[in-house]
A and B are shown apart, each in its own frame.
Chain A
């Protein structure tokens, strides 16, 4: 096995045993990036200098017999909406082009303190608004399994970086499926923690009541490792919980005998690809063999999730994105007076989808329409939350496909915004209800594209969620398959 195929835990062992140094791991990563990034367009900015200096420090500590942290020497890619002190953070938007944040996001501080080697910032849909990475103001990221297909979104760069074996670990953010859907499209593991499990300080806000940061990795163990490092209370995010953080690796392999998985059958029957249906049926057998009891559950309001989600998310976005006015940071386009400067800056700096969502959210919050749209969506959110509370009295987890389709072709859904929004039909519910969800590799289509399965767990019970995901992974080999990736020219 080549070193770039090592999982994070394998690399960690190798570095700790001094089989190879953190610097050598770093060399492997940048050789891969130079070879493959031109083809898949994953990185917005790589930080070779910073990475080598972090790796050197890890090697020095280990040589001196000092502790170098749980992520010592492990290469990690960051979605470009996570603030990195002094290093460009664009959210894949022209409006923030060239901006260097004056501070690090809490998760960035945490992974650095844990010894991770940050290799750079990866592509995304502009301000995390999109399901394909095609809304990046710079370029779309391509899927390592088929460069004519999208990587998914909005954390498409994070998922593709892991799938292409450029890095074993990446961080993304998930507002309505933005970690899980690209993980599914790229055949990797992607976890959205419970709302409040991970600090959002320094995550550029899209929809504050829905956003969470989470790990992407090639296997469940690596995702558990990274979650253990980033989870926990932070005084700078009042919505982060002070519940204790378990070591998620500790009980990962304890098995799932006696657990109950609920299937919301009426919800998942609508409009899913037959091959995804087959993968879901196979998964049920795998779980049954592992000792899980599968039961039917009802989520009567699940079909309203997407509509409620897009109203809540756009309303919050219209407010959060009001800060981009060309005054404190980012780009400015001049105008004759202040209002014209604002309007010109925002018209030039934002892409079409961001503008569309600001418009939709502004409309849903405007006088005369607030009650009919925003208030209505918040009430439906209550009904959706109650559905999950009710269902979770009968089961421990819920199983669905992650996405109704596999990765689609570039350009296939850019013409019609609603078609693109429908990619998120299975993922938005976990954000609305604040529950943790994970996408795991669950098969391949006849065209060789990955199929993802989603498990949704109980609030703050990522331990059971990961243990169940691991039980599935240990009985299947989908996660071990690698994209063929034709030689780069």
Chain B
């Protein structure tokens, strides 16, 4: 029984905000199962008690002086947006 079914792909697509047509769903089901099968190779290793490395640097917090530096002004920040009104990003209605 494969781990990835079309139902799983539909659920993941929803989580990732990707619209997916039936052909794509079928193709991704096959691809994801195949790739994950390879990934499961990691299960050959016993990793009990091994810490996780999310990041290679031994960094915790990096501090700098709290001084005001120039940033983007509003018109620059809005210049690349597909839809702008009243100096704001505009999106479709959220509340009915």
Contact = CB atoms under 8 A, between A and B. Distances in A.
Interface hub of B38, B39, B45 (most chain A Cβ within 10 A): B39
B26 interface: no
A120 interface: no
A364 B16 CA distance: 12
B47 to A, nearest CB: 4
A327 B28 contact: no
A99 B79 CA distance: 9
Interface in A470-489: none
Nearest to A416: B34
Interface in B65-91: 72, 76-77, 79-83, 89, 91
A301 interface: yes
A383 B76 CA distance: 45
Contact of A362 (B16, B47, B59, B93): B16
A355 B39 contact: no
Interface string A136-160: 0000000000000000000000000
Interface string A290-313: 000000000001011011101100
B57 interface: yes
Interface hub of B15, B38, B52, B53 (most chain A Cβ within 10 A): B53
B56 interface: yes
Interface of A is mostly: helix
Contacts of A434: 56-57
A377 interface: yes
Interface string A322-356: 10011111111011111111111011001000011
Given A239-B57, A307-B42, A356-B31, A383 B92 contact: no
A100 interface: yes
Contacts of B91: 327, 338, 341
B68 to A, nearest CB: 13
A332 B56 contact: no
A346 B72 contact: no
Interface string A80-111: 00000000000000000001111100000000
Given A343-B18, A359-B13, A363-B12, A330 B80 contact: yes
Contacts of B28: 355-356, 359
Contacts of A409: none
Interface residues on A, range: 35 or more
A355 B59 CA distance: 32
B54 A209 contact: yes
A311 B34 CA distance: 14
Given A103-B72, A238-B62, A329-B81, A376 B47 contact: yes
A46 interface: no
Contacts of A338: 91-94
A343 B15 CA distance: 10
A416 to B, nearest CB: 8
B89 A382 contact: no
B1 interface: no
B69 to A, nearest CB: 8
A325 B31 CA distance: 25
B18 A334 contact: no
Interface hub of A99, A100, A375, A376 (most chain B Cβ within 10 A): A376
Contact of B72 (A102, A235, A322, A344): A102
A40 interface: no
B79 A382 contact: no
B35 A418 contact: yes
Nearest to B51: A382
Contacts of A406: none
Nearest to B61: A238
A378 interface: yes
Interface in A140-193: none
A296 B42 CA distance: 25
A385 interface: yes
Nearest to A354: B18
Contacts of B89: 327-328
Contacts of A278: none
Contact of A102 (B31, B77, B82): B77
Contact of B51 (A195, A343, A379): A379
A366 interface: yes
Nearest to A236: B69
A54 to B, nearest CB: 22
Interface in B1-56: 4, 8-9, 12-13, 15-20, 24, 28, 31-32, 34-36, 38-39, 41-45, 47, 50-56
B80 A329 contact: yes
A17 to B, nearest CB: 39
Given A327-B89, A337-B92, A356-B28, A362 B15 contact: yes
Interface of B: 4, 8-9, 12-13, 15-20, 24, 28, 31-32, 34-36, 38-39, 41-45, 47, 50-57, 59, 62, 64, 72, 76-77, 79-83, 89, 91-94
> What 6 A-B pairs come out closest when comparing CB atoms?
A434-B56, A378-B52, A329-B80, A332-B82, A347-B19, A379-B47
26 contacts: A102-B79, A238-B59, A304-B44, A306-B38, A310-B39, A318-B16, A327-B82, A327-B91, A329-B81, A330-B80, A332-B82, A336-B92, A337-B94, A341-B91, A344-B19, A347-B18, A355-B24, A356-B32, A359-B9, A362-B12, A377-B39, A378-B52, A379-B51, A382-B51, A385-B53, A416-B34
